[in-house]
Structure 1
Amino acid sequence: MSYQPLSSLPTAVADGTSKAQQQPNASSLSCIANLTNTILGSGMLGLPFAFSAAGSITGTILLLIAATFSSNGLMLLSISATHVGITPSTPSSFYSVAQAAYPPSTALIDFAVAFKCFGVATGYLITVGDCMVDAMKFITGKDDGGLLVIQRQFWIVLASLLVASISFFRTLDALKYTSMVSVVFVLAMTVVIVLYSMGIEGMEACDNYAPTDDDLDAVCVGDKDKFTSFESTMSNLAVFVFSFTCHQNIFSVCNEIKDRTQAKVNTVIFTSIGAALLLYLMVAWAGFNTFGSSLQSDILLNYPQNALVTTMRIFVAFLVIFSYPLQLDPSRRCIITLINKLRKGNGDEDFTPVKDEEGGAGSKDSETDASINSKDLGGGEKALENVMFYGITIVFLVASFSLAMIVTSLGTILNVVGATGSTMVSYILPGVVYIKLFEGETGWRKRGAMLQVGVGCIIIPVALYFIFHTD
């Protein structure tokens, strides 16, 4: 069947704001950078561990499968957004497609996106703690834990203060320029990991390696299995799902890309997923060849204390700090929507979707300044919106900080979030929405959507079982 090009949709602005201000004008390169930056991140640090736990051959196959399903989910959502309709005054979002397909599911979507983004943001704080402790050990030359700057908790506190300073913006325009820089950081880290795997003189990965007091039998380079046990593979399956999750952002691509067509959106999808897959394969194989089964849940923890690796650790710390608001923003929008639904008393109210920078489930009640002038709101309603905005932001920051202080393993966060929120957002919801919107279709895309839902429904219980029942 044919799909209406996004560029042919009406562009009238219903709320009286300037049409020029809301016209899509993002370049394809900008959309690719933003989507790729959303995919890459702390998931890249934990992937080599999951890769080694599954075995090199199994890990490669799982990466290819995860990339394929993620691409399919992104296409299903973008086609659904086109089918529902996109205008400057009513841009697409998870909320808009879910409301059109199956209204009762909107609350589930809001919860899934909020939970997934919260888990990712918490993982970012854990990453900062891991990276900066080792960086400071090298810089100070101390390894006894007596100094404040080599305490993990100190850096999580500092990172939380830094992310708090950039988490109260109403829009994310000021942060979009960090996407290119973030991708450069990721490329630099990939190059370093690959160089270490090549055994270049002066870049010995096991230089000055010594077992920790917690594991005196540990070795720098472990076994390099092509296949491992079913239990080991399944307990890390969710990390592969998590590594390609960016589906809350496909709506911002549909809303903002200039001269929109489905072909252009597909190009953004395939380029972003393809670039991420290539980088993941390089990092996973390089890390696996270097350390084998000795890989830790954060690959940077395997490398020696030297100036190059220390620089990479600091870069990664800043990378995830700047990425934190990209997770907080859609989560905040979804939570506001859920609160508004509770205030209304039922789900039948007219929540008009608004411009959502992150593509999360948003509503007219949940974002006052995206398409509504502040003068249009009564003083009491505006004050309540502000209370929710700032209150939810503070609770989010405090909750993620508290969890990061308790949970020390990045792998735990990646597994649980991947098994639940990421699987729901990238597998089940895209398939359910598409199936409902295109009930009369019988082609291969419909069958692909059904397969997407089925696989997602299997992943969640199986992955959770093995995560919590593996010694």
Structure 2
Amino acid sequence: GKYSSVKSTLDCQCKIASDWLFDSLCGYLTSLSFSVKYIMASVNDVLTLFFQHPGHTSFGMSVFNLSNAIMGSGILGLSYAMANTGIVLFTILLVGVAILSLYSVHLLLLTAKEGGSLIYEKLGERAFGWPGKMAAFGSIIMQNIGAMSSYLFIVKYELPEVIRTILRLEENSGEWYLNGNYLVVFVSIGIILPLSLLKNLGYLGYTSGFSLSCMVFFLSVIIYKKSQLPCPLPFFYGHANLTVLGSHDTHQSTGVQYEPHPDEAEMCTPKYFVFNSQTAYTIPILAFAFVCHPEVLPIYSELRDRSRKKMQNVSNLSILAMLIMYMLSALFGYLTFYDFVEAELLHTFTKVYTFDTMLLLVRIAVLTAVTLTVPIVLFPIRSSINTLLFSGREFSWIRHLLIAAAILVFNNMLVIFVPTIRDIFGFIGSSAATMLIFILPAAFYIRLVKSVPLRSPQKIMAGIFLIVGIFFMIGSLTLITLDWIHNPPGSNKGH
């Protein structure tokens, strides 16, 4: 009886112990499960932040991305364009191109809705078959390759100057770290390629915002320097060397030697209308400066709670902001150097300042801005290649990486081996930019939007827009070709 009693007690205790152990194990596993779910949810949140899915990009980030796509290296040459057109004519042309660009985006968004696609090449294919697809593909590739090359050219020529200024070297000593060809490769591998590996454009809104803030700083310094520099400056008279701070006859705030001259009133008088051999290049330059159409549809596809009206507001705000920045930078750069402003504004400042800290910061800001813009410009090129060659295939990280690397290798070779790209930009501005702003959106709209009658005011206006674009492209290319015949590209100096 005692044995049975002890056995019964032990069985009861074992059962209690086993139940406690089982409950503890279940509780531990439940806690572990919740912990794993929490960790996975946190990882998913982080991945969502870094690799935004379509439809998750905010309105503000979309404005930053599109503004950054619009703003390019052309901002450095707008003062030169104003010097060759005059203040009034330049303003008319600048506002006109901005309005035409807005109208073009309006047509593109309407076409995307009716055509049922947010991919430029597919709209071309649905409108005109394979020729339309190739026209869109070729225009996007040409435009964005030109834009990327212009940014990398700035890295090639400005980064060595930044390093030389930091080291306070009077001349380029020829060291490898002052070689722009090496530096542009290092920047491409170390900064541009990692940013280009992001799957979607959404996260680049942060870099776009920082890039835009750099260009705002650039504009602020341009305005400030206008109030500090006297007019005329010594190099207006052809002086090779400027007297630095410490000389007896210097301007109080800058240390730049000031010499009176009988023609100084004419040198420091702004011109309102100018017509010369360079005036014909102004519209292609402005068209190149406002092209953002390859980026409009990718940004639209990732816009949160997207609608055509919301994306149109993104475009309106972005183009208006860039219009103001373009106008202010062109005006204050021109009013600082007048007819003596160079094609690249920062190089003109170098004639006045050698080791100026503020100018150094501006160079760094511009370099940062253009470097962070390259990945955004790369996205439509890769998208076009994927659409043309790998349509219908699943996403592949290896292909994603290889296409980005191949694009960067091609652009680096172009920047390293082509001595000057100024004439190429003129050609791209007259051809690819004109196709993307005028011809393709109007042609796609007329062909794909069936809800609007062919003889309606909307279609007639789009037809006029198309014809103007064709005449503009033919006229610009003719003028550029004639200029090449009389002044071969190999004879041009500069960058």
> Shorter-normalised TM-score: what interval?
0.7 to 0.9
What SS is found at the alignment partner of 1:177? helix
Post-superposition offset of 1:272: 1.0
Residue 446 of structure 2 aligns with an amino acid whose one-letter code is I
Give me the whole-angstrom Cα distance separating, in 2, the residues matched to 1:410 and 1:223.
32
2:232–2:268 CA contact under 8 A, matched in 1? no
Q: Of 207, 222, 232, which residue of structure 1 is paired with 2:278?
A: 232
How far residue 107 of structure 1 moved from its aligned partner, in angstroms, is 1.5
Q: 1:167 aligns with which of 168, 184, 196?
A: 196
Match of 1:448 among 461, 469, 472: 461
**Structure 2 unaligned spans of 5+:** 1-47, 242-263, 488-495
Q: What's the counterpart of residue 345 of structure 2? A: 299
| TM, length-normalised to structure 2 | 0.73
Deviation, structure 1 residue 195: 1.6
Q: State yes or no: 1:331 paired with 2:381.
A: yes
Q: Which amino acid aligns with 1:269?
A: S
Give 3-state SS (helix, strand or coil) of 2:290's partner.
coil
On the 8 A contact 1:50/1:237 being kept in 2, the answer is no
TM-score of the pair, normalised by structure 1:
0.77
Question: Within 2, Cα distance between the matches of 1:391 and 1:223?
Answer: 54
**3-state SS, counterpart of residue 445 of structure 1:** helix
Aligned to 1:60: 91
* Distance of 1:409 and 1:313 partners within structure 2: 21
Select 1:425's aligned residue among 436, 439, 461: 436
Output aligned runs, 1:14-33, within 5 Å: 24-33=55-64
Which secondary structure state, in structure 2, belongs to the residue aligned with residue 54 of structure 1? Answer: coil
CA distance in 1, matches of 2:447, 2:74: 31
For the residues of structure 2 that align with 1:335 and 1:170, how far apart are their CA atoms? 15
Relative to structure 1, the CA distance from residue 393 to residue 212 in structure 2 (aligned partners, 3 Å threshold; closer, same or farther) is: farther
> CA separation in 2, counterparts of 1:183 and 1:205?
32
Alignment of 1:10-159 (within 5 A): 24-85=55-116, 92-104=118-130, 105-148=132-175, 149-159=177-187
Whether 2:425 is the aligned partner of 1:414: answer yes
Amino acid at match of 1:178: T
Which deviates more from structure 2 when the two are superposed, residues 186-195 or residues 171-180?
171-180
Question: SS at 1:231's partner residue?
Answer: coil
Query: For residues 266 and 22 of structure 1, do their structure 2 counterparts lie closer, same or farther at Cα, with a shift above 3 Å needed?
Result: same
The code of the aligned residue for 2:98 comes to A
Determine which of 292, 298, 321 is the counterpart of 2:371. 321
State the AA in 2 paired with 1:48. S
2:123 and 2:366 map into 1 onto residues whose CA distance is: 35
Q: What is the one-letter code of the residue matched to 1:425?
A: L
SS of 1:243's equivalent in the other structure is helix
Paired letter, 1:315: A
Q: C-alpha offsets along residues 138-193 of structure 1, whole Å, 9 cap, x if unaligned?
A: 22222322142443334323333332343344434442311111111111111111
User: Could you tell me how far 1:238 is from its partner in structure 2?
Assistant: 0.8
Q: Report the Cα offset of residue 208 of structure 1.
A: 8.7
Do the aligned partners of residues 422 and 329 (structure 1) sit closer, same or farther apart at CA in structure 2, a change above 3 Å counting? Answer: same
Equivalent residues, number: 400
Which residue of the partner structure matches residue 176 of structure 1? 205
CA distance in 2, matches of 1:44, 1:316: 10
Maintained 8 Å contact 1:205/1:290: no
**Structure 1 residue 207: Cα displacement:** 8.3
SS class of match (1:166): helix
Residue number in structure 2 paired with 1:8: none
1:408 Cα offset (Å): 5.1
In the TM superposition, what is the alpha-carbon distance from 1:336 to its structure 2 partner?
Answer: 3.5
Contact 2:438 2:466 in 1 (8 A): yes
Tell me which residue corresponds to 1:394: 405
Q: Could you list the per-position Cα deviations for residues 416-446 of structure 1 after superposition, in whole angstroms to 9, with x for gaps in the alignment?
A: 3211221111211111100112352433332
Deviations 1:242-266 (CA, angstroms, capped at 9, x unpaired): 1111011221343233333333222
- CA distance in 1 between counterparts of 2:209 and 2:333 reads 24
Q: Distance in 2 between matches of 1:265 and 1:336?
A: 24
Three-state SS of the structure 1 residue aligned to 2:218 is helix
The AA in structure 1 aligned to 2:189 is L
Distance 1:43 1:339, change over 3 A: same
Distance 1:194 1:228, change over 3 A: same
Partners in 2 of 1:311 and 1:65 — Cα distance? 33
CA RMSD of the aligned region, Å?
A: 2.9
Q: Which runs of 5+ in 1 are unaligned?
A: 1-17, 86-90, 214-218, 341-362, 370-381
State the distance in 1 between where 2:468 and 2:225 align: 36
AA in 1 matched with 2:335: N
| Contact map agreement 2:121 2:387 (CA 8 A) in 1 | no
Q: Structure 1 residues 261, 285: CA separation in 2 closer, same or farther (over 3 Å shift)?
A: same
Q: CA contact under 8 A between 2:151 and 2:371: conserved in structure 1?
A: yes
C-alpha distance in 2, partners of 1:206/1:165? 44
Residue deviations 1:202-224 (CA, integer Å, cap 9, x gap)? x99958997569xxxxx9x7874
The match for 2:329 is 283
Deviation of 1:39 (Å): 0.5
Is this contact kept in 2: 1:71–1:269, CA < 8 A? yes
CA distance in structure 2 between the aligned counterparts of 1:227 and 1:208, rounded to whole angstroms:
24
Structure 1 pair 159/452, CA: closer, same or farther in 2 (3 Å)?
A: farther
Contact 1:44 1:243 in 2 (8 A): yes
- Seen in structure 2, the aligned counterparts of structure 1 residues 173 and 141 have a Cα distance that, compared at 3 Å, is same
Which residue in the other structure is 1:463 paired with? Answer: 476
Q: Describe the shift of the 1:393–1:26 C-alpha distance in structure 2 as closer, same or farther (beyond 3 A).
A: closer
Mapped pair 1:261 → 2:307: yes
Which of 238-247 and 162-171 deviates more? Answer: 162-171
Within the candidate set 196, 219, 225, 2:225 is matched to: 196
Q: Percent identity among equivalent residues? A: 24
Distance 1:30 1:108 in 2: 30
Query: For residues 115 and 457 of structure 1, do their structure 2 counterparts lie closer, same or farther at Cα, with a shift above 3 Å needed?
Result: same
Whether contact under 8 Å (1:135, 1:313) holds in the other structure is: yes
SS in 1 for 2:228: coil
Deviation at 1:127, TM superposition (A): 0.9
Deviation at 1:410, TM superposition (A): 6.0
Structure 1 residue aligned with 2:445: 434
Q: 1:337: Cα distance to partner?
A: 3.2
Gap change, CA 1:136 and 1:386, over 3 Å in 2: closer
Partners of 2:126 and 2:61 in 1: how far apart? 29
More helix by share: 2
